[in-house]
Structure 1
Amino acid sequence: MNIAIVGTGYVGLVSGTCFAEMGLHVTCIDLDNQKIESLQNGQIPIYEPGLEEMVLRNYRAGRLKFTTDLSSCLDDVEVVFSAVGTPPDEDGSADLQYVLAVARTFGQNINKYTVLVTKSTVPVGTAKKVKQVIQEELDKRHLNIPFDVASNPEFLKEGNAIKDFMSPDRVVVGIESERAQRLMTKLYRPFLINNFRVIFTDIPSAEMIKYAANSMLATRISFMNDIANLCELVGADVNMVRKGIGTDSRIGPKFLYPGCGYGGSCFPKDVKALIKTAQKNGYEMKVLRAVEEVNEAQKSIIFHKLSKHYNGKLSGKTIAIWGLAFKPETDDMREATSLVTIKLLLDAGCTIKVYDPVAMPECQHKIGNAVLYSTEMYETVFDADALLLLTEWKEFRMPLWEKIKTAMKSPIVFDGRNIYDIKEMHEAGFEYYCIGR
């Protein structure tokens, strides 16, 4: 089976590579010539565990190809996935120009029945616009070529994307015809031979499922952050609270970990887009507005704890930061707490030393030399007045505290992810601040 995927960003490259791993012949398309040339030379533009080896293996086997021209492969494929970006506009709504551009090229060049599947996260109603654009292009050509549109939202977690794709909890597919359903069933059956977990829905429902899922997860995070902040005020331990409510089968334990705010390419963007979709339809998402408000405040909570410790006198202090990516196992810094924290520290007159196992090149791309980059985690803390942990990379879990204590000006740790034990930190001679305990 031959398919094409437009967009070689995170979703497109992971999806295309995993399809190729299952034996499909996949052509990945991107308008960025430099990115395509890099991929053809075996250079992977994103960090995801296991992805580079899989890309190289399937490229060498001839199952994975890269090109800048969608029209050149349309005669040979049955399905085209659109995985292009949908960045937020200034008002928070999703920018659909790239999605509609793919639809336009599709309509201008198909010569046989083909399905265009939107994998990008798009607002409800986007499929109607896509279908209309395709039909307009076919009308211009005076052709009556059958086609279908479908919605197949992705549920990949950065840092675990390959496993998520190869062994998904579920696959959601919004379709309009039995013909499209048969084709999508054929496409996904190899991944789900033992338990076919494809949920077929109408297209608007499939589009909504993605936003609703991410918004629910974001809601759980902000709820727990709100609870954590109250726990500090009343003397409760949020870890005990989390365990107590997580054992309730109606609630469950996942996404109940408090911290210093969520980030990334999905949750912030999708929450904003769903709020905007509701506005356009005359409805206000009051819960999601609160989720967003809590999260924005939470991103600065570690800075405020630091500032309170020093009575607001931070100018001239040297601050060490462990973790720049919005979460472990990725170099993605979009909407990362580290960016908010760094800006507040710079405005306060601090010198900042940072270390992240993967994301430092991305940090340099985003903020340049506004901070000092360390080559390893212990170098970061040398002569520092305080250490802030913002991303819970595994190598930060069990550091050599005696070595750190000797290197720092003052042994103070601000743990934005609650990965250390309070008693152990105090026994090691550190002043220790965390979230909700």
Structure 2
Amino acid sequence: MKLTVVGTGYVGLVTGACFAEMGNDVLCIDVDADKIARLEKGEIPIFEPGLREIVLRNVEQGRLHFGTDVREGVRFGTMQFIAVGTPPDEDGAADMQHVLAAARSIGEHMTDYKLVIDKSTVPVGTADAVREAIAQAQAARGVDVPYSVVSNPEFLKEGAAVEDFMRPDRIVVGADDVRARHLMQALYAPFQRQRDKLILMDVRSAELTKYAANAMLATRISFMNEMALLAEKLGADIEQVRRGIGSDPRIGTQFLYAGCGYGGSCFPKDVKALVHSASNVGEPLHVLAAVERANERQKHVLVDRIVARYGEDLRGRHFALWGLAFKPDTDDLREAPSRVIVAELARRGARITAHDPEAMAAARKVFAELPALEFAPTPMQALEGVDALVIVTEWKAYRSPDFARMATLMRERVIVDGRNLFDPALVRDAGFDYTPIGRRAAADASEPQFALAA
């Protein structure tokens, strides 16, 4: 099949590359000429395990192409995937200008049937707006070319996006006409040879499914973070609580890890957008509003603990940060807890030395105006002369450090762990003052627990 993907961001590039891997002929279009030039030279603008290899392979084999010509993109593919960004406006609503601009471009240049597929995360009712934008563009040309609009939300975890796309646990398609449904079934047939994973529904239900899924996962994270803070007050251990409730098959274990808050491109934005959409129709979402408040509070927990130990004035203090990305296996700093932590420590006069296996280049841009932050090439070098280590991202490289060497490098043996990477008793036996989240002080050293990536 011939496919056009509009947008070469996280979703668009993964979508285009993975469809090409299945034998389709794919053209990825973007208005950012610099990004397209980099892609044509084999440079991948985001870090995602396995993505570089799949892009280079399919470019070499002639199935994956890149360009900036919108007209060419519209005429190339029968299927037109809209995978552009929908950043939040100031009021939390999703910014739809790029989605509607892509729809208008399709209407302005199409000369035969097109199946227009909303891949971006968009509010309920977007498919209707896309249909209208295409219709208006055609009317301005004085033509009436047939087309369909479907919703096909992505369910990709950063750090596992290629695997998620190639081996999906479900494929949600919202389509209101038979032709569109048949085309989508044919497109996704290679991804579900062992069992049927395609869930067909109406368009609006598909649009809501994406938001509801992310909102539920965000709710689980915020719930466990609140339980962790309560566990500390009650003398309980949140890791034992997690194992207890996670063993209930109605609950399960995923997204039940306490930490310093969720971030990234999806959960914060989608929770805000869903709350905003509900407010617009007079149906306030009290639970999700609380989820959002709880997450924002959680991002300040590590700073609060540092302030409780060293005081509000942190001038002369030096802290190491392990982890800047919002989660492991990505270089994404969007809404990352590290942004709050670094800003709050710097505001109080502290100096920070940070390390992250993949996100330091992105962090240099994000924190370009913050002289208090410097970067270390290795985790151990970040520890030289610091008052405390603050763990923000649960990268695998941080999970089994040499505590004896750490003790010789740090000015004070203090660890504030925002991801519960270590067994408390083990770290304290190594001579460290260890502050995790929601762990009991007398945790059993024989049962080390490691936080997993969300």
Q: How does 1:59-78 map to 2 (within 5 A)?
A: 59-78=59-78
Helix, strand or coil at the partner of 1:405: helix
Query: Superposition RMSD on alpha carbons, in Å?
Result: 0.8
Q: 1:396 maps to what in 2? A: 398
Distance 1:311 1:176 in 2: 60
Gaps of 5+ in 1: none
Aligned length: 437
Helix, strand or coil at the partner of 2:427: helix
Q: How does 1:329-344 map to 2 (within 5 A)?
A: 329-344=329-344
Q: 1:191 maps to what in 2? A: 191
Gaps of 5+ in 2: 440-454
Distance 2:275 2:190 in 1: 37
> Counterpart of 1:406 in structure 2: which amino acid?
T
Q: 2:263 maps to what in 1? A: 263
Give CA deviations for 1:39-76 in whole Å, capped at 9, x if unaligned. Answer: 00101100001111111110011100000112114333
Distance 1:200 1:141 in 2: 33
Distance 1:234 1:315 in 2: 34
Give CA deviations for 1:303-340 in whole Å, capped at 9, x if unaligned. Answer: 11111122444221000000000000000000000010
> Counterpart of 2:112 in structure 1: which amino acid?
K
1:419 aligns with 2:421: yes
Helix, strand or coil at the partner of 1:102: helix
> Counterpart of 1:428 in structure 2: which amino acid?
A
Distance 1:314 1:142 in 2: 67
Give CA deviations for 1:22-50 in whole Å, capped at 9, x if unaligned. Answer: 10000000000000011001011000011
Helix, strand or coil at the partner of 2:349: coil
Is the Cα contact below 8 Å between 2:313 and 2:349 reproduced in 1? no
Helix, strand or coil at the partner of 2:71: coil
1:78 Cα deviation after fit: 1.4
> Counterpart of 2:387 in structure 1: which amino acid?
D
Give CA deviations for 1:157-183 in whole Å, capped at 9, x if unaligned. Answer: 000000000000100011010000000
1:135 Cα deviation after fit: 0.7
1:137 Cα deviation after fit: 1.2
Structure 2 length-normalised TM: 0.95
Is the Cα contact below 8 Å between 2:27 and 2:76 reproduced in 1? no
Distance 1:190 1:247 in 2: 34
Q: 2:296 maps to what in 1? A: 296
Q: 1:387 maps to what in 2? A: 389
Helix, strand or coil at the partner of 1:71: helix
Q: 1:433 maps to what in 2? A: 435
Distance 1:432 1:388 in 2: 10
Distance 1:365 1:301 in 2: 25
Helix, strand or coil at the partner of 2:264: coil
Is the Cα contact below 8 Å between 2:4 and 2:76 reproduced in 1? no
Structure 1 length-normalised TM: 0.99
Q: 2:49 maps to what in 1? A: 49
Helix, strand or coil at the partner of 2:72: coil
Q: 1:234 maps to what in 2? A: 234
* Percent identity of equivalent pairs: 50
Give CA deviations for 1:235-281 in whole Å, capped at 9, x if unaligned. Answer: 00000111111111111111100000000000000000000000110
Helix, strand or coil at the partner of 2:150: strand
Distance 1:153 1:170 in 2: 11
Helix, strand or coil at the partner of 1:72: helix
